[in-house]
Every structure is written in structure tokens, then in C-alpha cells.
Amino acid sequence: MSFPEASPRRFKRAILKLSGEALREPGSTDNISPEIVERIAREVRDALAPGDLQLGIVVGGGNFWRGAAASARGMDRATADYMGMLATVMNSLAIQGSLEHHGVSCVVQSAIEMKNVADTFIRRKAERHLDQGRVVIFAAGTGSPFFSTDTTAALRASEMGADVVFKATMVDGVYDSDPKKNPSAKRYARVNFHECISQQLKVMDSTAFSLCMDNHIPIVVFDLAPGGNVTRALRGEPIGTVVSSEETVVA
């Protein structure tokens, strides 16, 4: 799927991937900023207003816990990853509460069963919720250790038959090198999946890239911070970098 320069949306179903760290105010000791969560919910509501987009959301847990980092300090990796999955549930509930406050019907489905706080993930039930206009927030990762929430987003997009994955990050797209370390780094307007994998561009992990590549699902990488960017992205406006099977183009 190619993305036009004009604004009309060309997709029906999308997955929005949010990092857990993006929910924390920079420099704050609070794990979740209610103001940031509220802004995201408001922008999602505005994007859904036309009524022609079905949306799933996957959120990370890095504002509470990072399994890989804990494993590097000696903790059992599987245990550390399960703790990270629980962190994503807390973030998912926060987003659900804010979306509902803004009048958006939504449901949290968890890959780890926890009946008192979330529905258990069942693919066909998730599809029905999407068809009925509800936002589905996919919590607890894949339910298995050793997989990132980026891979979860790619997996759920593949299972749901999504047209696109939107990855909201702390940078305004994909660069050929780290723009914080290299002032001459070039940003791509569009970059090929194979190039992302071969050059190890650290926007998503290789498993997520491979899943999207195999299932022909483009990824749009954009900066979450500027106000309105979530709405612009979900409406299909040109933003960030598109990762797809098409030819690479430098911005």
C-alpha cells in the first residue's frame, strides 16, 4: 500500500503502537502523566470522529519496567518479561479510562488472563469489537516472554487484517543513523523493509519488521510529542516515515 501526499485516508483498520515511556512527562518521576494520556485520548477521539476507521492500540510498559534491562542486571529473562507484560496492562487501563472519558467506546483485551480487570484476548471477539466501532486495546504483549510490544503490534495487525501500523515515538521518523549523535543524519520519507533489517535501523525490532513485511503491512513512524500528530497520522496525512516494500526515499 502506498501513501499519497494528499490527506484522504486510504485504510479502514489500523493499529496504533504507543511506547510506555511516551506516557511519562520528560524529567518527571511519575510513571504516567494523566495530561499526556488525556491528550492522546482526545486526539484519538478526533481521528475517529468521521466514523470510518477501526482502531486497535498496543502500548508498551517501559515507563514502569523493562524486562531486557532487568535481565541484563541478573534477573531471569522470562520472569522479567512477564513483569513487563503486567506493566502494559496498567498503561492500557489508563488509556481505556481516558478514552471512555472522551466518549470513545473501548475494551482492553489481555494476552494474560485477568478477568477482574480486562477481557482475555480472543481474535474473533476482537474483530467483532472493531467491526462494532469499539477501540480494542491489546494488553500484556503476546502473552509470551522474549517478544517486544513492537512485535505484539505487528502480530495483532496481522491477526486483525489491519492496513497499517502507526508507531508513535520520540523522533520524527526513521534516520540512517542516530540523529542525537550525528547532526548530519538523514531522515527517510520512505524506507524499504529490507533496508531497515539489513542496516539494523533501531525503530522496531527485526521480528516486527519481518512480520509486517511478510503480511504487506506498512509502518508509519512519527513523533508523538507535537500536539495533533496522533490525529494527523490516523487521518492518513503525510507524517513521519513510511516503512514499506516500496523504494527508499530520503526526505
- Residue ranges for the known binding site for UMP are 61, 81, 142-149
Sheet holding 13-18, edge to edge: 119-120, 106-110, 135-139, 54-59, 13-18, 164-169, 219-223, 241-244, 188-192, 249-250
Q: Report the binding-site residues.
A: 17-20, 61-62, 66, 81, 142-149, 169, 175, 178
Structural Rg of the chain based on CA atoms = 17
Residue ranges of E strands in the chain? 13-18, 54-59, 106-110, 119-120, 135-139, 164-169, 188-192, 219-223, 241-244, 249-250
In residues, how long is the chain? 251
**186 torsion bin: left (phi>0), alpha (psi -120 to 50), beta (else):** beta
Q: Report the binding-site residues for ATP.
A: 17-20, 62, 66, 169, 175, 178
In this structure, are residues 122 and 109 in contact, taking their beta carbons and an 8 Å threshold? yes
